[in-house]
Amino acid sequence: MHHQLKIAVLASFLVLTGIYSALTSSGGAPLGFSSAPGESNCTSCHGGLAVNSGPATRTLTFNGSAASSYVPGQTYNLSLTVTRATRIKYGFQLKVEDGQGGDAGALISTTNRTWLQQGYLNQSGSGNTSTSSGTITWNFQWTAPAAGTGPVTFYFSSNAANNNGSTSGDEIYTDAVTLMESSPSYTISGLLQYDNTAGNPLVNSTVRLLGTGGNVLQTTSTNVTGQYTFSNVPSGSYSVSALSSRPWGGVSSADALLITRQFNNTINLSGLRLVSADVNGSNSISSADALLVSRRVAGLISSFSAGDWKFETVPVNVINANITQNIRGICVGDVNASYQPSTVRQGTVALDLNPAVVIPSQGAWVPLSLKCLGSKDGIPLGSVTLDLEVPQGWQIEGVRSALKGMMPEYSLEGNRMRLSWFDLEGMNLGLHEPILYLKVLPNQESPAATNPWFLSSSSELTDRDGNVLGGLSVVLPRLQTTQERALWIIQPVYGPGTCPQVMVSGQGILELRAIDVLGRVLDRRTLQHSYDFSEMVLLPEGTAVVSGVCIGSKQAPVLVRVAF
């Protein structure tokens, strides 16, 4: 009997010693002590103190920080740390469950300080001693479950043992950390550009991320390079588009011409350029759109029903990867995409301020003609866009057209004229042949003859196909008042009979003197005239000079003096 008692006592000692050793010094505790629902904790083997009554701190970090959510399928680096001063031996047991109590994801033992069995992770025999004074850390990994699992909870019990050789006096702690399921997120980024060859960036504009129903999910602004970025975008189907409050521009009479040609099926616009042609928002292209463009260019209207800007709406599918998608935009009406936002437009038309005309106080009509440098042929004109200012102290009172076909649209605001004209057939304009006559008169201010006309860089001349004509100059006279009794004109003039016409205005006696470069008078003619507007006047036969309407000769120029 005594022998049997000794055996029973020895067996009990070995069991208790094994349980203690399992949590603090051996290969781990029995399974089912993680404190998960339906499970016990370490107090079944270690006692003396109430659960969680000790001062120990416990932290569970994911990739170095606390977490509240997980991305399905992603693998995380986890660290479980227990800190309790004066303690040397430690143990733990951890498992991960989904909302139905099943295992969630996969725990991975990555060092010899832990071991894994049937979904439970424990300390190993070499992993129960503090890694620094009063602190122990176990490192391991966890691969999150598949999408649709929902919330998961990490349940773990930990033991800060007093190392007294028995199960008494050990501190038991239980914890639970719940993570919500989140979708993996990606970025959608790219450039917002103008729909021209250069792809000019559109800065400080709004880009929108749209859902499948067109609802706005995110908005962002482009930076100084036109770059935009949407972050935290889950996999799915989206579209991106843009808005802009940038200045409207790039539209000229050439666009009205091209819209008309589109309507007549002589060209084929596509993409945003076709969209931009529908300026009245009617979902069709007609001559009405061309007329509205012409009227806006001329300053007669200030907006279109379709707005100022149109942008692509581009579908984007995010499938487990970041996406780069550029977006293009265009000004409504700019069907040739000539606009260059954020870039100073370079003018394509020069200004030639010869010859000079004396203007009486009641005003006079002066011609506006074109000159093509280096050409003896006519000018194949298809459209005209002019934004012109008369010199300070003068104003434009009227416009007469010498252009073929439709009358030009124009507006007059003080000393400024904005004009638009286009014609499908075009016209072959003779060199120095006037296209307009402008009624100018001095205003209340004192006119200054030295102040130039100003031709805006938005002025443009094209052929009948809408191609910009280079090397052209707008020829306008210098303006003089009747108080200025004489003026000098420097013009190349070449031989008797070559230029039988001269422009005069006002009333009085016109004296023409031909003077060579040495100041010698070569010829003199006097004409008495009385006109209330400028007109071409035939000079007497044999007149040697005129006021600069001839080019192309290799003879040396002379000076022509005009006096009243």
> Which one-letter amino acid corresponds to residue 528?
Q
Tokens of 452: 């130039």
Q: What is the 3-state secondary structure (H, E, C) of 399-410?
A: EEECCCCCCCEE
What is the pLDDT of the chain when averaged over all its residues? 81
Measure the CA–CA gap between 44 and 34, rounded to whole angstroms. Answer: 12
CATH topology of domain 346-482: Immunoglobulin-like (2.60.40)
Q: What is the pLDDT of residue 476?
A: 86
Q: Please state, in angstroms and rounded to a whole number, the distance separating the CA atoms of residues 263 and 8.
A: 107
CA dist., res. 268 & res. 276, Å (int) = 13
The pLDDT of residue 242 is 98
Read off φ and ψ for residue 289, nearest 5 degrees. Answer: -65, -40
Q: Is 521 helix (H, G, I), strand (E, B) or coil?
A: strand
Specify the DSSP class assigned to residue 189: E
All structural domains of the chain with their residue ranges:
2-181, 346-482, 485-564
Determine the Cα–Cα distance for residues 513 and 535; give it in Å rounded to an integer.
20
- Return the percentage of the chain with pLDDT > 90, whole number: 53
Spatial CA neighbour of 54 closest among 28, 83, 20: 83
Which helix (H) or strand (E) segment is 77 a member of?
A: strand 75-83
What is the structure's pLDDT at 523?
A: 56
Taking alpha carbons only, the member of 236, 239, 235 closest to residue 215 is 239
Q: How many CB atoms lie within 10 A of CB 158?
A: 27
Q: What is this structure's pTM?
A: 0.62
Domain 2-181 and domain 346-482 have a common topology: yes
Q: What is the number of other CB atoms lying within 10 angstroms of the CB of residue 303?
A: 12
CA distance 447 to 159: 100
In a 10 Å sphere around its CB, with 0-12 CB exposed, 13-18 middle and 19+ buried, how is residue 84 labelled?
buried
DSSP state of 466: S
The confidence score (pLDDT) of residue 448 equals 54
Give the pLDDT confidence score for residue 507 in this predicted structure.
47
DSSP-derived pairing of the beta strands 478-481 and 356-359:
parallel
- State the CATH architecture for 2-181: Sandwich (2.60)
> What's residue 106's pLDDT?
98
Asked if 394 and 440 touch (Cβ cutoff 8 Å), the reply is yes
Q: Which residues of the chain have pLDDT under 70?
A: 1-29, 44, 46-48, 342-345, 354-356, 373-376, 444-451, 482-564
What six digits make up the tokens of 467? 């191609």
Q: Tell me, what DSSP letter sits at residue 6?
A: H
Task: Give the type of residue at 215.
Answer: N
d(CA 425, CA 153): 79
pLDDT single digits (tens) 352-374: 876 667 777 788 888 898 888 66
d(CA 354, CA 399): 20
**CATH domain 485-564 topology:** Immunoglobulin-like (2.60.40)
Q: Hey, is 379 helix, strand or coil?
A: strand
First to last CA, the chain: 154
Spell out the residues 6+ positions from residue 72 whose beta carbon is closer than 8 angstroms to its own.
Answer: 144, 145, 146, 147, 148, 149, 181, 183, 184
